A and B are shown apart, each in its own frame.
Chain A
Amino acid sequence: EVQVVESGGGSVQPGGSLRVSCAVSGFIFSSYEMNWVRQAPGKGLVWVSYISYSGSTKYYADSVKGRFAISRDNAKNSLYLQMNSLRADDTGVYYCARGCSSDSCDVYWGQGTLVTVSS
């Protein structure tokens, strides 16, 4: 059974930092691209960042470029998002989402972790 479990969310002051993690099981992690997607309260889904199978290629939404860093540890079946210089508009639920393999894009979502940026 595929499992995707985020952790590390919480409350932080503007300008602060936070690292969220995603632990996966039930599939070959190193065979899948991975993404972080966030959802502000009452709003829609917004893609944040992408990482390739090996971690050699990374992409970021313009709104987080230079502040967020995505990484993965294939030996630990884990995905990470380091978030620095956090702003109030970074508040929301952060979802870890499995992307594409070489065969298909059978997306799978985690349950999300809430990040609140407030003074």
Chain B
Amino acid sequence: QSVLTQPPSVSAAPGQRVAISCSGTSSNVGDNYVSWHQQLPGAAPKVLIYDNYKRLPGIPDRISGSKSGTSATLAITGLQTGDDAVYYCGAWDNNLNGWVFGGGTKLTVL
């Protein structure tokens, strides 16, 4: 059972928009930065979004992050087949003194 809650799977057609939610509590998402990580099959995770909404260099602006209260959202527009991956949200938890993650959301681009 993961501390942060994500939907197990989402799907959409190429070119469409998808949003992945991440729900936490006041001790993690509500009080700390949220990051989003993409993991392609057989590869290491890669950060897409950090500090709730910032993108590292090289991450396209069709990928965006937002946070409101104890929930965060990753949005991807103009879906491409290369976006087919598992996405994790993460945040520091002040009560656990540890980094907590969601269980991961499998994005299928139909």
Contact = CB atoms under 8 A, between A and B. Distances in A.
Interface of A: 35, 37, 44-47, 50, 59, 61, 93, 95, 99-100, 104-112
A100 B47 CA distance: 13
Contacts of B88: 44-45
Contacts, number: 59
Given A45-B104, A95-B44, A95-B45, A106 B56 contact: yes
Interface in B7-64: 33, 35, 37, 44-47, 50-51, 54, 56
B100 interface: yes
Contact of A44 (B92, B99, B101): B101
Contacts of A44: 2, 88, 101-104
A106 B54 contact: yes
B68 interface: no
11 contacts: A45-B45, A45-B104, A50-B97, A50-B98, A59-B97, A100-B33, A104-B33, A105-B50, A106-B54, A107-B37, A109-B47
A50 B92 CA distance: 11
B90 interface: yes
A49 to B, nearest CB: 8
Given A47-B101, A59-B97, A105-B51, 13 more contacts: A35-B99, A44-B2, A44-B88, A45-B45, A47-B98, A47-B99, A95-B44, A99-B99, A104-B51, A106-B56, A109-B46, A109-B47, A110-B44
A111 B33 CA distance: 23
A115 B44 CA distance: 15
A111 B39 CA distance: 11
B99 A50 contact: yes
A22 B32 CA distance: 26
A45 B99 CA distance: 10
Contacts of A99: 99
A46 to B, nearest CB: 7
Nearest to B102: A44
A77 B46 CA distance: 21
